[in-house]
Chain A
Amino acid sequence: MILLGRSALYLAFVFALYAVAASLIGRARGKPALLRSGENAAFAVAYLTTLAVVSLLVLLVSRQFQVEYVANYTSRHLPWYFRLTALWAGQAGSLLFWSWLLTIYSTVVLLRRDDSVRDLYPGVVAVLMAVFAFFIGLVTFMSNPFRLLPFTPADGAGLNPILQHPAMVIHPPSLYLGFVGMTVPFAFAMAALIAGQAGPAWLKVIRRYALFAWLFLSLGNLLGARWAYVELGWGGYWGWDPVENSAFMPWLAGTAFLHSIMIQEKKGMLKIWNMVLITLTFSLTILGTFITRSGVISSVHSFTQSGIGPFFAAFLGGIGVFSFGMILYRRPLLRSERTLESFASRESSFLFNNLILLVAAFAILTGTVFPIISEAVRGVKITVGPPFFNRIMIPIGLILLFLTGVGPLIAWRRASWKNIRRNFVVPVVAGLAVIPLMLAGGVRSFYAITSFTLSGFVLATIVQEFWKGVGARRSISGLSAPMAFFSLLARSRRRYGGYIVHLGVLLVMIGITGNAFKKENQAVLEPGQKFQLGNYEMTFLEMREQETSLKTRVEARVEVRQSGRALGVMLPAKEFHQTRAADQPSTEVALRSTPKEDLYLILASFDGETAVLKAYINPLVNCLWLGGLVVMLGTTLAAWPDKRDKRRALSYSFEVEEAVA
């Protein structure tokens, strides 16, 4: 198995290089046979990488502890599913996993070949395989999961108990599907530049890939937050640490890209901008992979020590030089077909949305990599913490929320007063109506009031759009209102899918705003004593200990009442895993979740019969999770394949005009 895995890695590396060379030379010399051979090499690479992945999985499952990677991330008693998911628990395995996903994407791309962009494929294969060669090269030569230990340990180190959670099983693959997926649009963009075909054709092909990647980036971020919330036990879900930031930045850039390609598709503008955006998005996914896999930022002076750091830096530099070089070289082809006419236009509002999203990504990037930069420049690491990110991201989030309402409704080219009145009177009134409600409800936080006002505005724009759409469908088809609603969704998936995504984002923003009303309290309690938080009253009953073969669980039984009404017993606990060092506990949160708020209870520590409890009230957190689901639903709808796709391809420009109108 070890030999098989290793040979597969070497061969995959060689074949990938061959695929790059064959595609480029075949294109330059116009030799179809060579091009076909390049594509076949890409298929072979997919096969070989799969072989390597399967080999590693077999080693993990069959507990071959003489393999360093297996010893580091699994142990005898780890259940089989966690042994499988240990594939992406460490650097070597996850880089292999990354490469493998890329080969799956490239296989899909080649199998779903679109002949309308026939000339792009050599470039696509070359770029995909070049990226693959970089990663598999790292796996093969720098961070090989098949490396052996000089001895065979009796047992492995095991998987950290905090990672043994369902969300952690799907969070990394989901994030990686998103990260890796952004390579496909990047490859098509570069192929379009290589082939000198900067028209809208490539956008049409990549739209669905980009949405797919974006969907999984969103899911990955959401699952990460969910995992942090239920598993880490500090009362929140987002701490602006480098690992979170590195998943969030490509999401921001990708969001900007998905918006601005609409402008190019419909108006032939922003061509250079889109090339820049997809390059940034792709680079941020590479950077994100590096940050999550190397731990470079959180440790002092580790950049120079991290073996793979310089390679990533060089790779990112190479991507930058290549793509900006290509953009400059093809500049004549990327000239805009129109110019902006007015600030009050859809084009401007999209451009503005792009600008804000990029500023957000840039701010987070600066805050995240500043330690590395300052170390390189001044020899000292300087960091910025969550206060920095919060100070910047709250206003940016509010501006984006506002634009979420404006963008889809404002007229193209130049909005007339009539257009503005027709589309915005109701939403503005709805938004403003929120303010007295908030004040009457005792809300005084400026940001919270602004956020809810904007939320009211955006919600009204979305409802209004559905209202108009359903009305129009009914008058055309005579359907009942619910049927007209579904018919609307089915017929204009892109448009209404987009609105549903916006609705989800709105819910997420409301959930985040809930943080403004967060409350916490902690107490040292003897059995029978109680403490208060908000209108909750918590009585500590007793400590209880449970032992199983794998772990000891120490839990506090806490009786909870809300305004006198009994809610039952909550059981915050600490668990001590036998496979780990005995003094490393893992905190098990007790959570009581309602649509209005979560009561979040932690056993901070205990001493004999005394318990130290910490409680949080987290208002509206469920809006966040629900919003995330709505975003995914909307994205799926917007990306769902259409039976009319073939017809649509023929009358593409016509359909676009229809969707715009």
Chain B
Amino acid sequence: MRRWRFVIAFTVIAAAMGYLVLNGFDRSMVYYLTVNELLVRGASAGENVRVAGVVVAGSIEKDPRALSLRFLVEDKTGGGRTIPVSYAGLVPDTFQEKSDVVVEGTLGSDGVFHAQTLMAKCPSKYEGQYENLEKKGSVRAATSQAG
């Protein structure tokens, strides 16, 4: 059999796979923003966005019985402006005041961010102690709820 037939066949297969990948991509792309970026940019109704920020000290309201949670996030660089977040689901062990958090969900018209996913990284004592494996834990704890 001639070589070009294989080249064509494998190209077609690779193209089909490529299409599968790109198509999957298109349907699950999510913007990843900081709190300040979200405040500037806004989000259209129903648009899924992922937002990184820091939990404002003293803002956590837990309702353990309903497994729901409300808190404020602010930008890591400060700036004073906050976004209220509401979330229902398993809370990662690393979630606490001043945690770095990443939430994924939609921004409601009332300005409340409704998170379906919550990931957290605990605040560290020393600079440079951001430990990836810790985050790995919380990331997984959170992704499960998305999936």
Contact = CB atoms under 8 A, between A and B. Distances in A.
Interface of A: 68, 71-73, 89-91, 149, 157, 160, 162-163, 168, 228, 231-236, 239-241, 243-244, 292-295, 298-301, 339-343, 348, 351-352, 355-356, 359, 362-363, 366-367, 370-371, 380-388, 390-392, 395-396, 522, 524, 581, 583-587, 602, 604-607, 610, 612, 614
Contact of A355 (B14, B90, B102): B14
Contact of B133 (A160, A382, A392): A160
Interface string B109-128: 00000000001001111101
7 shortest interchain CB distances as A-B pairs: A234-B144, A381-B32, A239-B143, A388-B28, A295-B132, A607-B64, A239-B140
A160 B67 contact: no
Contacts of B21: 359, 362-363, 366, 392
B93 A587 contact: yes
A382 B144 contact: no
15 contacts: A73-B131, A90-B129, A162-B134, A240-B143, A300-B34, A355-B10, A359-B18, A382-B31, A384-B24, A384-B28, A386-B147, A387-B27, A388-B28, A604-B67, A612-B64
Contact of B30 (A91, A157, A301, A382): A382
Interface in B5-50: 6, 9-10, 13-14, 17-18, 20-21, 24-25, 27-34, 50
Chain B interface helix/strand/loop/mixed: mixed
A235 B93 CA distance: 14
Interface of B: 1, 3, 6, 9-10, 13-14, 17-18, 20-21, 24-25, 27-34, 50, 52, 62, 64-67, 90-91, 93-94, 96-97, 100, 102, 104, 119, 122-126, 128-137, 139-147
A387 B28 contact: yes
Contacts of B14: 355, 359
Contact of A234 (B29, B67, B90, B132): B90
B21 to A, nearest CB: 5
B132 A292 contact: yes
A163 B134 contact: yes
B135 A90 contact: no
Contacts of B65: 524, 607, 610, 612
Contacts of B28: 384-385, 387-388, 391
Nearest to A348: B6
Given A72-B126, A232-B137, A239-B140, A388 B132 contact: no
Given A72-B128, A298-B139, A341 B1 contact: yes
Contact of A383 (B6, B32, B94, B137): B32
Contact of A614 (B17, B18, B90): B90
Nearest to A362: B21
Contacts of A294: 132
A362 B22 CA distance: 11
A524 B66 contact: yes
Given A239-B140, A366-B25, A387-B146, 16 more contacts: A89-B133, A90-B131, A234-B90, A241-B143, A244-B136, A295-B132, A300-B32, A348-B6, A352-B13, A355-B17, A359-B18, A367-B25, A371-B32, A380-B33, A382-B31, A396-B17
